[in-house]
Structure 1
């Protein structure tokens, strides 16, 4: 097996394990890791909102997959649809005040999860890994 294949396999295994670990810890807040990632992306755009297509691109999901993901989050009032001022045919999505509060609380838990998961790496190693992943994304 070549080095590229080994890299992808190790990355997939790491992703799977981190997803499980983070998902278990975030479940106390009533959200999954994917829902947390949605909230993390929407948080800085809380006033203006983001299109579902942009969110799908960011998460690496299909538009219909994002719609299915967002529906329960809308029902629990974590986010809301808003009209796009530039295109009335397209709706945007943004965090509600409830969503912002939950994200703030979940972020504290996530920081602890991340610190535990990366405890064997120095800050310089973590920064290098971030730079490498950015090249691949």
Structure 2
């Protein structure tokens, strides 16, 4: 028998996977991007300068820098992302969303919002959603999260 903390952590991971799966098909079919690519664009938009070094983007997405490179390359090819070299240090390269990338994010954010509403709407009442939001804020407090 597992303790309640372990059980809740496993349930949270399972729910996160279920939500991601519930969003993935629609994102790909409607917008031509994956949920991870959507999150990459969202991190860029929510950053202070609307751009991030590859290593910082990797840290925020909890992946390796090489994963960011593999994700960004096809997005650059289709015009959603670009690279900017730092004016003072040419070794520092930023990942930045293009106008097309920002437009894609805006469209995808609308889909994300609608789909999240459907996924939560069937399971939670408004008061429960308020309580859940409060718990999530406590869970992410101090993590530096910039998405919500």
Question: Which one of the candidate residues 84, 92, 95 is aligned to 1:93?
Answer: 95
Count of equivalent residues: 137
> Normalized against structure 2, the TM-score is what?
0.84
Shift in Å, 1:135 = 3.8
Q: Report matched runs for 1:1-137 at 5 Å.
A: 1-27=2-28, 28-45=30-47, 49-119=51-121, 120-122=124-126, 123-135=129-141, 137=143
> Normalized against structure 1, the TM-score is what?
0.90
Partner of 1:93, secondary structure, is strand
Q: Which 4+ residue blocks in structure 1 deviate beyond 3 angstroms? A: 44-48
> What is the distance in 2 between the residues matched to 1:136 and 1:47?
21
Which structure 2 residue ranges, 5 or more long, are not aligned? Answer: 144-148
> What is the distance in 1 between the residues matched to 2:64 and 2:12?
21
> What is the distance in 2 between the residues matched to 1:45 and 1:7?
31
CA contact (8 A) 1:49 1:93 kept: yes
CA contact (8 A) 2:44 2:50 kept: no
Partner of 1:61, secondary structure, is coil
Which structure 1 residue ranges, 5 or more long, are not aligned? Answer: none
